[in-house]
Amino acid sequence: MPATIIIGGQWGDEGKGKITDALAERAHMVVRPNGSTNAGHTVVTDQGVFKFHLVPSGVLHPGCDCVIGAGVAVDPVQLLNEIDALRERGVDLSRLFLSDRANVILPYHPALDRAEEERRATHSIGTTLRGNGPAYSDKVGRKGIRVADLLDEAALRDRLELVVPEKRLLLAGFEDDATLDVAALAEQYIALGERLAPLVVQAEILVQDALAAGKRVIVESAQATMLDVDYGTYPYVTSSMPTAAGACQGAGIGPTQVDTVIAVYKAYTTRVGGGPFPTELHDETGQMLRDRGNEYGTTTGRPRRTGWFDAVAGSYAARLNGVTEVAVTKLDVLDTLPEIRICVGYRLDGKAIEAPPAVASVYGRVEPVYEVLPGWQADTSCATSVDDLPPNARRYLERIEELLGVPVTMIGVGPDRQQILHRPTGAAV
Ligand code: IMP
């Protein structure tokens, strides 16, 4: 049975956790392929609100295996805290697995993240300061420490002896030496490795065996296409590859083993941190979206920047990821608006351009071309089927569908698990 990939179509926080949770009901396995504790996936259930950073959102379904794949950068302290907090709330974690190849975030990674942001000053990326960028830099620089190293004291000491002196140089003047003592780090991380050991597996084999046995596998990507290190608003991006291709790599599957790529989009746009955002609103409507949408970061609590739906960036993401289905979340946030704008084109220096430009400062100069649609000014949060939606809400979704060129099959109308409207491919909105 081929796998399903869930990715973000914008700049993150689209509600991927909610969509994964909804689909995980029928899945045997959910794999998290990328990102680190920088990610925050929220799921609202009868038992309350769950915020996941590293643990896949499928964990709330008892029959579902949850796998943290090789492409994830794992902070063991954060992972164990997350596991303890979930256990306290009665969540069964006996089916949680961790790849032995996943890279580890050590205390010097957040320290380097802070130092790097401070050095960049006015050009700071606005990272989550979780050490994500420095950990992925070490990984591709072949200086990373991986989960398997935490299970082998001699190997760990050897790796630390090699990398810590360099970190000491990079952090001179920024941090005290507490994060840079090889013996202390080795002792602490071997102890953490012992606690993680029961979860550690060759995750790619587990995933491949599940696919070979005809099990339903969902790959739940973190972050989003416009934050991708190649195709996003570089350098205002994350350091991993949150595309469908990146999800394959991080989960240990090939493109021929996937038949469904679901891109999740908010009915409007948000982003956190710096970088271009052509449809950003700095007015009352922007504040209304922030308030009604509760647009504050799951990981950092930062207020998110808000704006209209950007169908140019959206269709770019749909094409790059070979998206087969779209989920539109938070439609209800737009319920009070008399009219709604969609960005249907970009203009740069007076000329129409088709796709996001490569240089961030150029992207920052792009002017959005808007189409104005009538609002519906009615409550959509109690809709239980697409037929319950007001005609103008359906028109708005149809227009998004046309612009993205991909069918909208799921619509979120509120934070709760039940507030998702399903629509079979091909049915009218
Ligand atoms: P980093 O991933 O912490 O290095 O941050 C790089 C950029 O990605 C910053 O603009 C962050 O705000 C953004 N980012 C990272 N993780 C998320 C996320 O889960 N949601 C939204 N933005 C994110």
Q: Is the CB of 276 under 6 A from ligand 1?
A: no
Residue type at 214 in one-letter notation: G
Residue nearest to atom 1 of ligand 1 (CA): 127
Q: Is the CB of 272 under 6 A from ligand 1?
A: yes
Q: Is the CB of 241 under 6 A from ligand 1?
A: no
User: By the 8 A CB rule, do 390 and 332 touch?
Assistant: no
Q: Which two tokens stand for residue 144?
A: 């990373």
d(CA 333, CA 156): 49
Burial of 190 (0-12, 13-18, 19+ CB in 10 A): middle
Q: How far is the CA of 355 from the centre of ligand 1 (A)?
A: 22
Residue nearest to atom 8 of ligand 1 (CA): 238
DSSP structure string for 301-368? -PBPEEE-EEHHHHHHHHHHTT--EEEEE-GGGGTT-SEEEEEEEEEETTEEESS--SSHHHHTT-EE
Residue nearest to atom 21 of ligand 1 (CA): 12
Active-site residue identified among 21, 28, 41, 61:
41
Phi, psi of 303 (to 5 degrees): -65, 135
d(CA 92, CA 59): 8
pTM reported for the whole predicted model = 0.96
| Per-residue pLDDT of the chain in tens (429 residues, 90 and over written 9) | 899 999 999 999 999 999 999 999 999 999 999 999 888 888 888 888 898 899 998 899 988 999 999 999 999 999 999 999 999 999 999 999 999 999 999 999 999 999 999 999 989 999 999 999 999 999 999 999 999 999 999 999 999 999 999 999 999 887 666 679 999 999 999 999 999 999 999 999 999 999 999 999 999 999 999 999 999 999 999 999 999 999 999 999 999 999 999 999 999 999 999 999 999 999 999 999 999 999 998 778 889 999 999 999 999 999 999 999 999 999 999 999 999 999 999 999 999 999 999 999 999 999 999 999 999 999 999 999 999 999 999 999 999 999 999 999 999 999 998 899 998 775 666
Q: How far is the CA of 272 from the centre of ligand 1 (A)?
A: 7
Of 37, 213, 209, nearest to 135 by C-alpha is 37
Of 169, 170, 179, nearest to 119 by C-alpha is 170
d(CA 25, CA 423): 17
User: By the 8 A CB rule, do 294 and 216 touch?
Assistant: no
Q: How far is the CA of 233 from the centre of ligand 1 (A)?
A: 12
41 Cα nearest atom in ligand 1: 19
CB neighbour burial string for 367-384, b if at least 16 within 10 angstroms, e if fewer: ebeeeebebbeeebeebe
Residue nearest to atom 2 of ligand 1 (CA): 238
